[in-house]
Amino acid sequence: MSKIIDGKKLKEEIIDSLKKEVKHFMIKPCLAVIQIGDDPASNTYIKAKAKACDEIGIYFKHIKFTEETKEIEVINKIIELNNDEYVHGILLQLPLPDGFNADKLINYIARNKDVDGLTDINLGKLYNNKPCLISCTPQGIMKLLEHENIDLEGKNVTIVGRSNLVGKPLIGLMLNKNATVTVCHSKTENLSKHTKNADVLVVAVGKKEFIKENMVKEDAVVIDVGINKEDNKLYGDVDFNKVKTKVKKITPVPGGVGPMTVAMLMTNVINAYQKQQKKSV
């Protein structure tokens, strides 16, 4: 089996399966993406989401506000989308420009349409191991590990990074699989002591090639969530070329976790759609 975990291939399999599923739906599912401002990275991510929707047969609604928009206008739009039975998933594209409260706005999204899994209700359900919509990147990581037949029970899992988008939801998902979880962050002392102890190491810090070969143990599984752009080239948070010779399995950047985030978003839209259709029958 290959050392390199191919997220792109798995994403294509998932998209293909969803495409077949959507063909049988009476009503087309709809994803609404709200964007505030004109962040270049956000524009790229939104294009990727629109492309995946188009491929599967999901109606894509892009709502764009300027940075001068009042927060109340965005709130009113979210409430309108919550009440629209033909919109099945709502996503607020992050990061937001200065002056907007992301946490406040996200929590206006109806939990059954929160396809990013970021509302307090969905995060609380995740930690209590109850059915909910789960944050896309952590869910994608779990899907990759499952696909590679990596058993997490009793394993030492070290997560470097504690963001609301990746680190925090991942703690809950790993605990639900009975892993022994260590969380490291900017205030962690002697980081390499923790990373060297990891059977599974997940890195999401946003620093180019931050994790070196001497910071991982042999035969570990390394999941690199970082996307760092330099001279028009993408780098992960892990020194890929050196680390890959030492570990059992590793995700590349690009082509690892990134594609899975989009695949899981599409999965969440379909799941949200199906639950809403059942309720309306």
What average pLDDT does this structure show over 14-20? Answer: 97
Number of Cβ atoms within 10 Å of the Cβ of 246: 15
One domain for residues 235 and 157: yes
6 token code pair: 């191919």
Contact between 251 and 223 (Cβ < 8 Å): yes
Classify residue 229: in a domain, yes or no: yes
188 token code pair: 């962690």
One domain for residues 93 and 146: no
What average pLDDT does this structure show over 197-207? Answer: 97
Distance, in Å, from the CA atom of 264 to the CA atom of 141, rounded to the nearest integer, reads: 10
Catalytic residue among 114, 116, 224, 239: 116
pLDDT of 244 over the 60 cut: yes
Catalytic residue among 11, 77, 93, 276: 93
Among all chains, which residue has been given the structure tokens 């919509």?
A: 133
Residues 6+ apart with CB under 8 A from 67: 36, 37, 38, 97, 99
CATH of the domain at 42: 3.40.50.10860
Catalytic residue among 49, 125, 168, 177: 49
Classify residue 200: in a domain, yes or no: yes
Residue 70 appears among annotated catalytic residues: no
CATH of the domain at 144: 3.40.50.720
pTM of the complete model: 0.94
Q: What is the extent of the structural domain holding 254?
A: 136-258
Distance, in Å, from the CA atom of 141 to the CA atom of 214, rounded to the nearest integer, reads: 24
- pLDDT at 280 (0 to 100): 63
One domain for residues 179 and 248: yes
One domain for residues 149 and 230: yes
One domain for residues 105 and 164: no
One domain for residues 88 and 158: no
Residue 49 appears among annotated catalytic residues: yes
- Type of residue found at 118: L
What share of the chain in percent tops pLDDT 90? 94
Specify the pairing of strand 228-230 against strand 233-235: antiparallel
Classify residue 20: in a domain, yes or no: no
What share of the chain in percent tops pLDDT 70? 99
What average pLDDT does this structure show over 139-161? Answer: 98
- pLDDT at 232 (0 to 100): 86
One domain for residues 106 and 145: no
Distance, in Å, from the CA atom of 260 to the CA atom of 11, rounded to the nearest integer, reads: 6
One domain for residues 148 and 244: yes
What secondary structure, in 3-state letters, does 7-41 show?
A: HHHHHHHHHHHHHHHHCCCCCCCEEEEEEECCCHH
- pLDDT at 207 (0 to 100): 94
Classify residue 121: in a domain, yes or no: no
Classify residue 129: in a domain, yes or no: no
Strand order in the sheet with 89-92: 59-65, 30-36, 89-92
One domain for residues 146 and 254: yes
Classify residue 165: in a domain, yes or no: yes
One domain for residues 105 and 167: no
Classify residue 46: in a domain, yes or no: yes
pLDDT tens-digit readout, 62-103: 999 999 999 999 999 999 999 999 999 999 999 999 999 999
What average pLDDT does the structure give for the chain? 95
One domain for residues 82 and 173: no
What average pLDDT does this structure show over 183-190? Answer: 95
pLDDT tens-digit readout, 91-145: 999 999 999 999 999 999 999 999 999 999 999 999 999 999 999 999 999 999 9
Residue 93 appears among annotated catalytic residues: yes
Classify residue 172: in a domain, yes or no: yes
- pLDDT at 2 (0 to 100): 66
One domain for residues 104 and 163: no
> What is the count of structural domains for the chain?
2
